[in-house]
Chains A and B, each alone.
Chain A
């Protein structure tokens, strides 16, 4: 496949069947490999789309500074696009995210402002909103509330999946900004009657909850519960164990949040088997495992040890 530039190569990712993890020939699991995007994550889609729409609206003009709260991937995608397009970028990121993410952001020239671990992404959002008030000339694309985030998936991810697998019955993705689920979910609901849209929400152990913000809960402005059919809450143990299973059984080296999505995909697949229905379940591989190597979850001798290494860290 040929593209005129690196940015033009965003999207059109492979959809691969997982014969070993699929429960039967009637209930099949499919992985959409979003790690094959230019910076290695699904976030290239919304990042590029948000920048291009802001350029079209005239909100983003040459010389502008982009500001974004991010736990990593969106910042990395924005930083790469900003570098190529000549914008300065400032990312607000929780201090307890992996060293790899910091290096990747720095590599593409992003300036990083650390927000306190307490409150996780919620605190990063709050800090970024404060910075935006102090610097009215900075442009915050704001992935949590920017319709162009979901719009990217409505325009590209959803149509790609339906074209590759017209028999899709379930779509599963992680719940963060909610952009993937809202965008793909709306597209599929309009074009594939009866499709089920399934969210996989990260559930942290008590240690991380202790770090989290006890202020008001934060719901991304993009979130519309009516798009979802159901929602799974996936603990660190299951996320880690599924991430390792995906690697061991199918050879796919994915980030830990992908393990959570796979866990939910296997959950709906098991229900289809029990009900005697056939199913084609698609889940999103949001990124590869590279950025999480330092956690040790891939090389730990046992899943129990892998879970222990991740204890107390944010993984989605």
Chain B
């Protein structure tokens, strides 16, 4: 088991075009660091100064992590993480 991470079109250049990749870690920060080890450059697009980048939305099992613990949100095997650019007009 691992954590499935869905990658938006705009970031698939880092994942050889894959729509979803797998990773591991106890928190989102660790998960993103783990992704970086195989998909170099992706972490910087997601994290800025130890926080989630402002125009990136991250969902843990579809729940907006900004309402959880942000980048410190705990994750575990079998979870599903979705990354989306904060599309203008698509975000209340």
Contacts and interface: CB of A to CB of B under 8 A. Distances in A.
A223 B87 CA distance: 18
B11 to A, nearest CB: 12
A122 B92 CA distance: 11
A296 interface: no
Interface in B43-71: 57, 59, 61-64, 67-68
A251 B11 CA distance: 41
B89 A175 contact: no
B72 interface: no
Given A178-B92, A228-B67, A230-B67, A238 B62 contact: yes
Q: How large is the interface on A (under 10, 10 to 19, 20 to 34, 35 or more residues)?
A: 20 to 34
A21 B92 CA distance: 29
Contact of A232 (B62, B88, B90, B91): B62
Interface string A98-133: 000000000000000000000110100000000000
B64 A209 contact: no
A262 B91 CA distance: 20
B88 A214 contact: yes
A233 B92 contact: no
B89 A119 contact: yes
A215 interface: yes
A203 B88 CA distance: 13
A263 interface: yes
Contacts of B82: 233, 235
B84 A203 contact: yes
A204 B89 CA distance: 12
Contacts of B9: 206
Given A206-B9, A230-B67, A233-B57, A212 B90 contact: yes
A264 B62 contact: yes
18 contacts: A120-B89, A206-B9, A212-B89, A214-B88, A216-B89, A217-B86, A217-B91, A217-B92, A228-B67, A230-B64, A233-B64, A233-B84, A235-B62, A235-B82, A238-B62, A264-B62, A267-B61, A267-B63
